[in-house]
Amino acid sequence: MEKILQEQGKKYDSFYLYDQQIILDSINNLKNNFRGIDFLYSVKSNPHSLVLDTIFSKGIGSDSASLNEVLISKEKGLSKEKIYFSAPGKSRKSIEKAIDISVIIADSLSEIELIDEIGKKKKISVNIGVRINPNFSFTQDIGSPSKFGIDEDNFVENINLLKSKKNIKITGIHVHVKSQELKCENLIRYYKNMFALSEKIQNLLGYDLEFINLGSGIGITYSLNDVPIDISNLAKETLKIIDKYKDRFKKTKIFIETGRYLVGKSGIYVSKVLDKKVSHGKTYIILTNTLNGFIKPSISKMVTKYEKDNPASYEPLFTCEDSFELKTLKKDISKEKVNLVGNLCTAIDVIAQDIDFPILEKDDLVIMTNAGAYSAVISPMQFSSQEKPVELFLNTKKEILL
Ligand SMILES: *Cc1c(COP(=O)(O)O)cnc(C)c1O
């Protein structure tokens, strides 16, 4: 890997590198443990074309958060039953274009009206999912206000009205209330609540649900202090819950969605030292495209400065203060105190302050880990019209593809 990075560092001043083997290992780890469960990949976490090819070729479907993600998934060869379009505030145009090629998850009562109306015009009945904002969270048995989905009570109150609609049929439910959970017991508690909710809704509808989408939640380690989730135990407990409900959901597909679990650890971000200077006793290392190329380290600095109470609610912009490691390829381990900053004309472009770091010179590379999910896609690359970092893909034959 070191040689690969050195070589690419000669060609590019900043780049992402996604390692296909790590993605494949994560896929296998989920599929081998969660037997009988279907997975959807949250495309918004990393829509790189070769990343999508890798994931979709393993039979994983698409959790699309926009019309464009639906269209990309379709172009990649996924059939309608493998593309789920879930997002708040879908436009009429996006519904019209997605209606024949994906399963639309309605996010509000008015959106159900809209789909019904579009169905009527097209003289079809549209099978839809509904996103529910449930009366529970990962840790409590109360609901909370949300811009996502239809409140559970509101859905139940309107069930007869919804059943009377001629051009839609509710065939599945979707809930997603939290990302990046590392406590197995919280996920299990959540899944139990999800099956109880699904049973209640199925009874109210009076016919069998075709799918239950459990959403995401499964976290990955970011900080070196994070304890990885025991996937094998989580899967075992989840399959036990499913087994308890097997008579009620005989033909129902169970989905788990995930973005970061498949790709989060597969990516690194590499940035080259452009300059080094000392100012009033402080040493500044000026790197290529930090805030604008990989925003998470700079955001880390900002969020922890301003938000003391619940910084974790800033997912996926912010996960935790040390959500990445900083590394170099230097063999010499003598260190100095430095500030690592970027080359933008703003003072907030800072990724580390007063840290002890191996002594860097111009053209050395700094490597940042955990850059596979919500990294390139959420970084403001247009800012100051810099040359953008490239996104490289390392396949299992150790070839670099652009
Ligand atoms: C973003 C998103 C996910 C993916 O979350 P991860 O933490 O990356 O697994 C899943 N479901 C929905 C509805 C999302 O918006």
pLDDT digits (tens, 9 = 90+) for 35-77: 999 999 999 999 999 999 999 999 999 999 999 999 999 999 9
Question: What's the 255 CA to ligand 1 centre distance in angstroms?
Answer: 12
Which residues are registered as beta bridge partners of 338? 355
Average pLDDT, the chain: 96
Residue-level pLDDT at 138: 95
- Which protein residues touch ligand 1 with a CB less than 6 Å away? 42, 44-45, 63, 65, 86, 176, 179-180, 215-216, 257-261, 373
Question: What's the 184 CA to ligand 1 centre distance in angstroms?
Answer: 17
Ligand 1 pocket, mutate which of 216, 222, 261, 263 (most atoms under 8 A from CB): 216
| Least confident window among 33-42, 259-268, 321-330 | 321-330
- Residue whose structure tokens are 């083997």: 21
Of ligand 1's listed atoms, the one at least distance from the Cα of 260 is 8
The percentage of the chain sitting over the pLDDT mark of 70, rounded to a whole number, equals: 100
Question: What's the 180 CA to ligand 1 centre distance in angstroms?
Answer: 9
Residue-level pLDDT at 258: 98
Q: Whose CA is nearest to atom 1 of ligand 1?
A: 42
Cβ atoms 348, 298 nearer than 8 A: yes
CA dist., res. 192 & res. 196, Å (int):
6
Cβ atoms 318, 352 nearer than 8 A: no
Q: Supply 198's token pair.
A: 């699904």
> Which tens digit of pLDDT belongs to each residue from 246-256?
999 999 999 99
Residue-level pLDDT at 256: 98
Question: What's the 216 CA to ligand 1 centre distance in angstroms?
Answer: 5
Cβ atoms 229, 184 nearer than 8 A: yes
Residue-level pLDDT at 220: 97
Mean pLDDT of 299-323: 81
Of ligand 1's listed atoms, the one at least distance from the Cα of 218 is 9
- Is a pLDDT exceeding 80 seen at residue 309? no
> Which tens digit of pLDDT belongs to each residue from 336-349?
999 999 999 999 99
CA dist., res. 163 & res. 201, Å (int):
12
Question: What's the 131 CA to ligand 1 centre distance in angstroms?
Answer: 13
Q: Whose CA is nearest to atom 13 of ligand 1?
A: 176
Mean pLDDT of 203-210: 98
Q: Is 67 helix (H, G, I), strand (E, B) or coil?
A: helix
CA geometry: angle at 117 spanning 64 and 158, to 5°?
Answer: 85
CA 136 to chain centre: 22
Question: What's the 39 CA to ligand 1 centre distance in angstroms?
Answer: 12
Confidence of residue 104 (pLDDT cuts 50, 70, 90): very high
Question: What's the 133 CA to ligand 1 centre distance in angstroms?
Answer: 15
Residue-level pLDDT at 308: 74
Mean pLDDT of 6-26: 98
